[in-house]
Amino acid sequence: MHILVTGGCGFVGANLVPTLLSDGHRVTVLDDLRTGRVEYLKDLDVEIVEGAVGDADLVAKLADTADAIVHLAAAGSVVDSVADPAANFAANVVGTFTVLDAARQTGIDRLVFSSTGGALIGDAAPPVNERSLPKPISPYGASKLAAEAYCHAFAKSFGIRTVSLRFANLYGPFSGHKKGAITVFFRALYNDDPIIIYGDGKASRDFMYVDDICDGIRRGLTADVVPGTVVHLATGVETSVAELADACRRVAGKPDHPIEYRPGRPGEVGRNFATYDLAAELLGFTPSVTLIDGLSRTWKWYCEHVFA
């Protein structure tokens, strides 16, 4: 297939695009390069177009020659969405609508959308699944829920085979520009600064190595599923922030590195992890990388590429 990947110069795209190429697909990347980096895809046979997903004419032009779209472009920070909800809405809701409408206009059959689990569901008793009632508590979570709704509506109204994949908390190579806990913890460990934890450390997440997410996306591109399908890509393992900090200290060889606790921040979910039963049933998906193994690989990459 010829696959258009929005946000392809970002964290997930940098890991996904090489796998799509190795599968024999042709890839075009659309990225505004605000956080993505062209060098992440250097030496790859891929067309990179600089532009925004909100540019309807550009997106339609690129979609016109594509067979499928992987829509990764997004404003992904909960904290930033609380600080500037309008910008988050423009990037995530308007951007997704623009991509979907381009798919409608050009007759694209398949679109894989990168959604989220924890932020979209909100504070709910874990483990959550596809039947859990979404009650987002941040503009970011609300924007992903709205985008999922548009994916479902375009599937039912126009026959686009949309697959919304609710990602667990991702980590791995090419994430040096991200603002997530693992990036922040690794920077603190490398710089000998205290690890900062907001709240009491009992907040939990489902952490997934990026290779497993890429496997799920590839399966979403080819699986015979009902248009409008939504599945969680998760590990089913709950890890508290305090446990994550301990794991990061272990892989960095600094088990006694200091931790500093600060007040919690608004918009962030307490406990969250999800089951992947439906993804296993519909996509044949099973995560394969343990947290310690994934963190070890990620720490090694950071030391070679970010901290070098």
Any idea what DSSP says for residue 94?
I
Active site includes 140? Answer: yes
Q: Which residue out of 140, 150, 171, 209 is catalytically annotated?
A: 140
Residue 248: C-alpha distances to residues 50, 169, 204, 305 (Å): 35, 15, 15, 18
- Strand ranges (E), the chain: 2-6, 26-31, 47-50, 68-71, 110-116, 161-167, 169-171, 195-198, 204-205, 207-209, 229-233, 239-240, 259-262
Taking the C-alpha atoms of residue 303 and residue 122, their distance in angstroms, rounded to an integer, is: 34
Quote the tokens at residue 60: 């339609």
Q: Give CA 188 to chain center in angstroms.
A: 23
CA angle (25, 211, 277) in 5-degree steps: 100
Compute the CA torsion angle 275, 252, 182, 133 (nearest 10 deg): 20
Whether the CA torsion 133, 138, 143, 144 is positive or negative: it is: negative
> In angstroms, rounded to a whole number, what is the distance separating the alpha carbons of residues 177 and 103?
30
Half-sphere exposure of 185 (CA within 13 A, CB side): 27
Asked if 123 and 204 count as a contact pair (C-beta separation under 8 A), the reply is no
Active site positions, annotated? 140
